[in-house]
Chains A and B, each alone.
Chain A
Amino acid sequence: MIPTDALDRLMEKADVISQACRQSDVEQWDIVGIQGYNEEVEIEAGKISLAGGGGEGGFGIRVVEDGRFGFAHVVDVSNVNAAIELAQKIAKISPKIDGFELPSLEPTSKVGGMYDDAIVKTSSEELLQNADDILSHVASLNENAVVTGGGIEISSTASCLISSSGIEESGQSTMNSIGVQLSIDKETFSSSYDHQSSRKKLKEIPECIDNALYWAEATQNPLKHTLQSEDSKVVFTPSSFSSLFRYIVPNSVIGERLARNISVWSNKVGEQVIDPAISITNHGRLEGGLASSSRDDEGVPTQILPLIQGGKLANSLWSVRDAAEMIQDGKVESAKSTGSAFRSSYQSPPSTSCSEMIFETSNNQHSREALLEIIDTGYLIQSVMGAHTANPTSGDFSVTSSTILRIENGEIVGPLSQAGISGNLVAALQSNVELGNETSVRGRYHLPDVALQSSIRVNPA
């Protein structure tokens, strides 16, 4: 069972560290503390292969002196003085950034939906039963389908942020993730993976299970006839689109990258950069969002920020240090934090990143069937391999899919065994982008089906 007093224990240790910081001669400091607990059940070869759990935690200490910052992390609070000294030593050799100071306390309100008691109260037996239910469910729908991998995880994380400027924030969040890799070895071999994560307890059989099974079934018996490599219209499902989107779009709206001329959208603030119907919003306060919070990881209140409005680049993402640095370097006249500082763990200082990203259209939204009718001839793509090889600077990508269906006359005619898909996502988003009417949450990205009608080439094997 995940302990219910995790936050109290964390705050006790954080108090020790903050006392040490106050007693030191450090100008400005902040402390982030994280203590996470998890329980998991892994599935392999159609059975539960192991059950486990554990806890991990520690503290990151950032010091800022005369515009220079240093950082160190500790697990054992008895080492805190050594960590503070180390952070100070690093600060001394770090570059000075005029105007860089830790943020002062600004009011904000809590974001709801981050914690679900039902997750914390889930017993190990219930998790095991949930895994068995998933295995039984798949077997009941298709006797040839096997869950070859995946599992269920629940976790609870207590976290806090305390700073010399009076910020003192703490809270507890929960998460439940379920994922399955399914295969069918009947007339041909096919497989599919899908997963879901939520701050709230998921249904015992979430939609991702049936979706994985659908795609494993749909990609049995690939088409035999040869299709030509050609520029094609495609419909990406939220799963495949999020794979490409996450490596390209968030990078392109980081303020510092725009200012340094290394974003594909540099020098285009206020200009049309994608289809005029499309808007992208960075929602730092979305209830229950996996990347939501009341304050970012340096204490600045989060906000709802339109990044692309009607296809025009409206705003960009900033953290406190990035903003000060770009002003000092003369790259921008003004900039201030948008509450977009994130740390990947207590072991990392903050860097700029997106929160929940919402991808929407002002045009009519369509069912998947209607989107297939719109493209008429092309492909429906559920997953891609190699999205991490996309070029985040240019938007170019070249990936492979084995869960891809051929569309002719607006209808599915059958699966391909494999196809290469290449193009430039930024160029493909510039016109004729049509969206589906069901939004799916893929990590921190909220995306529907996306029909793209140019700048994509499909190369069937």
Chain B
Amino acid sequence: MVISSERNSSEVKSNRYLDAKKIGRAIDMAIQEGAQYAEARLVALTETDIRMKDSQIESAVPGQQVGLTLRVLVDGSWGIHSTTDYHQIHEQVPSTVKLAKAVANRRAANMKPIDLAEVPIYQDEVHWEAKKDVRFTELDEKLSHMREFTSSVKHDSIQSVKCGWMDEHIHTELITSEGMDRVWSFQRTLMHATLEGRDGDNVMSYRTRVGGEGGVELIDDADLDALATKAEKATLRLLHASSAPSGKMPLVADPDLTGVYIHEALGHPCEADLVAAGDSCLDGKLGQKIGSEIVTVVDDPTIRGGYGAFPIDDEGLNTREKLLIKNGVLTEYLNHRETAHHFELEPNAGARAQDGLHHPMVRMSNTIIQGGHHKDLDDLLEDIQYGVYACGSRGGQVDTGRGSFQFSAQESWLIENGELTTPLKDVSVSGMTLEILKNVDGLTKDAMIASPGFCGKGQTVPVGDGGPLMRIREALVG
């Protein structure tokens, strides 16, 4: 069934890289050779990567990369070929089908063949246009933003300010044997900086990021002076901060860290490919209560401006919000067509690939804990005799099978008798997903997407995480 999309956000039609007829013939060839499904997905990235050190350009690299992945499903097994030489992809069809057949022939009798959940078929173009297109903004203007940030950092103890800029226009074309023929595009812009401070033998670094899905307007609209001043103050504070206490104690996290927490502790174990592989602590827990009543979590690629936003997933499905946890109950896994079929679930457009040279996997987008009922930070701190308030993220990691996770804060404070007291450095928090979700006992009202981030799972994709201020009754702080 072909459904004409009504979602076009733009009348603009893009210049296509793929010759639809030629690709159609290649896909027909794959079907004739025995494939039950075949697709060609091309991604053209038009990007700029700039590095600046103390207001001096280190490098500025504008460029374009184009990659195409041919994916064929034959007798319930995948064969894949990825190449930058996309004009010649038809030559790779027979060998890719043969490879998939070879995998299928080795499948044990008790192993279920792969199949795909049915989805609506679209033939259309969807373009999320940026207010200020990264492709048509002069390099000088991008450099000027970076210099503005750098010049706002003035303290003598700051030895170095490294500032980076990454923007990209992402253009994707997908043609499948089911008749899908979609073209979509959107942009991402990110400015990031690392401040390095020294006082005697004491050296510390602090990083900050601003940006998201969209064009240069995201940086135009940011208060770079305030961002730089905040980073400068944090770096100076860290130079004299105390080491973190260790042990189990109450923890309050800012939206940045709340986002990383929910990404690592819940988001990854919710990815259906890990569940199917037997590598998730949430296997078999759909419909079960796994968190406290106040915890509701969504993953939503349609939140424009979030770094993990995109209009269409890499299997051609329209994106939508996924309600992962509602009031503590696990309601939905993130899935792609393969895992939706495996678990007999509705596909929810969770397929993402790093670029045109990688195949789609189940990935998060913008993952957020929704707001609760606490008024503000003071409201959360009030009952805490001794604990930690942790802010900003250095990143995190999860062992999805064991359900154990770790994330680290950029800077923190000791909480004593409901007040923030001593600044702390190098606070990390670890725990078990199925325990700590039950320990969330306070959330402020307003949830927000926090700083842009990246998620690695063999492939790296941009993500947006966030939430409100969050209190965990007992967390393992190290």
Give A contacts to B, CB under 8 Å: 41, 44-58, 69-73, 75, 86, 90, 93-95, 124-125, 128, 132, 146, 148-149, 181, 183, 185, 189-191, 229, 260-264, 266, 347-349, 385-386, 388-389, 391-394, 396-400, 402, 417-418, 420-422, 457, 459, 461
Pair A461/B432 contact, Cβ less than 8 Å: yes
Pair B57/A229 contact, Cβ less than 8 Å: no
Closest to A349 in B: B59
6 intermolecular pairs with C-beta atoms under 8 Å apart: A50-B78, A51-B103, A388-B395, A417-B404, A418-B476, A459-B247
Question: A46 — which chain B residues lie within 8 A by C-beta?
Answer: 278
Interchain Cβ contacts within 8 Å, total number: 236
Given contacts A72-B62, A264-B203, A389-B407, 8 further A-B pairs with CB under 8 A are A47-B111, A52-B80, A55-B82, A56-B84, A95-B56, A385-B430, A400-B428, A418-B431
- In Å, the complex CA distance between A292 and B406 comes to 34
Pair B478/A398 contact, Cβ less than 8 Å: yes
Contact of A128 among B56, B102, B425 (CB under 8 A): B102
The majority secondary structure among interface residues of chain B is: strand
Q: What 5 A-B pairs are tightest by C-beta distance, nearest first? A: A420-B478, A52-B80, A54-B82, A398-B428, A389-B408
- In Å, the complex CA distance between A69 and B59 comes to 8
Query: B146-161 CB contact bits vs A (8 Å, 1 = yes)?
Result: 0000000000000110
B2 at the interface (CB under 8 A from A): no
- In Å, the complex CA distance between A414 and B42 comes to 51
Interface residues of B in 204-260 (CB under 8 A from A): 204-205, 243-244, 246-247
Q: How far is the CB of A256 from chain B (nearest CB, A)?
A: 9
Closest to B276 in A: A45
Question: A347 — which chain B residues lie within 8 A by C-beta?
Answer: 61, 63, 65
Q: How far is the CB of A141 from chain B (nearest CB, A)?
A: 18
- In Å, the complex CA distance between A117 and B431 comes to 47
Pair B246/A420 contact, Cβ less than 8 Å: yes
Pair B279/A55 contact, Cβ less than 8 Å: no
Interface residues of B in 13-65 (CB under 8 A from A): 56-57, 59-63, 65
Q: How far is the CB of B328 from chain A (nearest CB, A)?
A: 22
Residue among A229, A393, A422 with most chain B CB within 10 A: A393
Contact of B102 among A125, A148, A422 (CB under 8 A): A125
Query: B62-95 CB contact bits vs A (8 Å, 1 = yes)?
Result: 1101110100000001111111110000000000
- In Å, the complex CA distance between A60 and B432 comes to 46
With A53-B80, A57-B84, A72-B63 known to touch, is A385 a contact of B404 (CB < 8 Å)? yes
- In Å, the complex CA distance between A45 and B83 comes to 27
Interface residues of B in 374-402 (CB under 8 A from A): 394-399, 401-402
Contact of B430 among A148, A261, A400 (CB under 8 A): A400
With A52-B80, A262-B159 known to touch, is A183 a contact of B279 (CB < 8 Å)? yes
Pair B103/A50 contact, Cβ less than 8 Å: yes
- In Å, the complex CA distance between A95 and B394 comes to 31
B198 at the interface (CB under 8 A from A): yes
- In Å, the complex CA distance between A396 and B243 comes to 10
Query: B416-459 CB contact bits vs A (8 Å, 1 = yes)?
Result: 00000000011110111000000000000000000000000000
Q: How far is the CB of A414 from chain B (nearest CB, A)?
A: 16
Closest to B393 in A: A389
Query: B101-121 CB contact bits vs A (8 Å, 1 = yes)?
Result: 011001110010010000000
The majority secondary structure among interface residues of chain A is: strand
Closest to B64 in A: A75
Question: A45 — which chain B residues lie within 8 A by C-beta?
Answer: 276-279
Question: A70 — which chain B residues lie within 8 A by C-beta?
Answer: 60
- In Å, the complex CA distance between A457 and B244 comes to 11
With A95-B57, A389-B408 known to touch, is A49 a contact of B78 (CB < 8 Å)? yes
Q: How far is the CB of B240 from chain A (nearest CB, A)?
A: 13
B461 at the interface (CB under 8 A from A): no
B100 at the interface (CB under 8 A from A): yes
With A183-B401, A386-B407 known to touch, is A394 a contact of B202 (CB < 8 Å)? yes
Pair B102/A124 contact, Cβ less than 8 Å: yes
Q: How far is the CB of A47 from chain B (nearest CB, A)?
A: 5
Pair A386/B431 contact, Cβ less than 8 Å: no
Give B contacts to A, CB under 8 Å: 56-57, 59-63, 65-67, 69, 77-85, 96, 99-100, 102-103, 106-108, 111, 114, 139-140, 143, 159-160, 196, 198, 201-205, 243-244, 246-247, 273, 276-279, 281, 357, 359, 394-399, 401-402, 404-408, 425-428, 430-432, 476-478
Pair A47/B107 contact, Cβ less than 8 Å: yes
Pair B406/A385 contact, Cβ less than 8 Å: yes
With A389-B408, A402-B399 known to touch, is A94 a contact of B65 (CB < 8 Å)? no
Question: B276 — which chain A residues lie within 8 A by C-beta?
Answer: 44-45
Question: B85 — which chain A residues lie within 8 A by C-beta?
Answer: 55
Contact of A396 among B78, B111, B426 (CB under 8 A): B426
Closest to B92 in A: A54
- In Å, the complex CA distance between A93 and B139 comes to 10
Q: How far is the CB of A363 from chain B (nearest CB, A)?
A: 27
Question: B103 — which chain A residues lie within 8 A by C-beta?
Answer: 41, 48, 50-51, 128
Q: How far is the CB of B139 from chain A (nearest CB, A)?
A: 7
Pair B278/A385 contact, Cβ less than 8 Å: no
Pair B80/A75 contact, Cβ less than 8 Å: no
Question: A124 — which chain B residues lie within 8 A by C-beta?
Answer: 99, 102
Contact of A389 among B63, B69, B395 (CB under 8 A): B395
Residue among B196, B198, B406 with most chain A CB within 10 A: B406
Q: How far is the CB of A361 from chain B (nearest CB, A)?
A: 25
Question: B397 — which chain A residues lie within 8 A by C-beta?
Answer: 385-386, 388-389, 400
Q: How far is the CB of B341 from chain A (nearest CB, A)?
A: 14
Pair A149/B82 contact, Cβ less than 8 Å: no
Question: B203 — which chain A residues lie within 8 A by C-beta?
Answer: 262-264, 266, 393-394
- In Å, the complex CA distance between A391 and B396 comes to 13
Question: A71 — which chain B residues lie within 8 A by C-beta?
Answer: 59-61
Pair B198/A400 contact, Cβ less than 8 Å: no
Question: A263 — which chain B residues lie within 8 A by C-beta?
Answer: 203
Contact of B106 among A55, A56, A86, A128 (CB under 8 A): A128
Residue among B205, B397, B425 with most chain A CB within 10 A: B397
Q: How far is the CB of A16 from chain B (nearest CB, A)?
A: 16
Q: How far is the CB of B457 from chain A (nearest CB, A)?
A: 10
Closest to A38 in B: B82
- In Å, the complex CA distance between A185 and B443 comes to 35
Pair B139/A399 contact, Cβ less than 8 Å: no
With A149-B279, A398-B426, A422-B478 known to touch, is A459 a contact of B407 (CB < 8 Å)? no
Question: B139 — which chain A residues lie within 8 A by C-beta?
Answer: 90, 93
- In Å, the complex CA distance between A183 and B279 comes to 8
- In Å, the complex CA distance between A149 and B277 comes to 7
Pair B78/A52 contact, Cβ less than 8 Å: yes
Contact of A50 among B65, B77, B202, B426 (CB under 8 A): B77
Question: B476 — which chain A residues lie within 8 A by C-beta?
Answer: 418, 420, 459, 461
- In Å, the complex CA distance between A420 and B427 comes to 11
Q: How far is the CB of B91 from chain A (nearest CB, A)?
A: 11
Residue among B69, B276, B278 with most chain A CB within 10 A: B278
Q: How far is the CB of A321 from chain B (nearest CB, A)?
A: 9
Q: How far is the CB of A38 from chain B (nearest CB, A)?
A: 9
Question: B196 — which chain A residues lie within 8 A by C-beta?
Answer: 262, 393
Pair A420/B160 contact, Cβ less than 8 Å: no
- In Å, the complex CA distance between A291 and B68 comes to 29
Pair A56/B159 contact, Cβ less than 8 Å: no
- In Å, the complex CA distance between A402 and B400 comes to 12
Contact of A348 among B61, B204, B244, B401 (CB under 8 A): B61
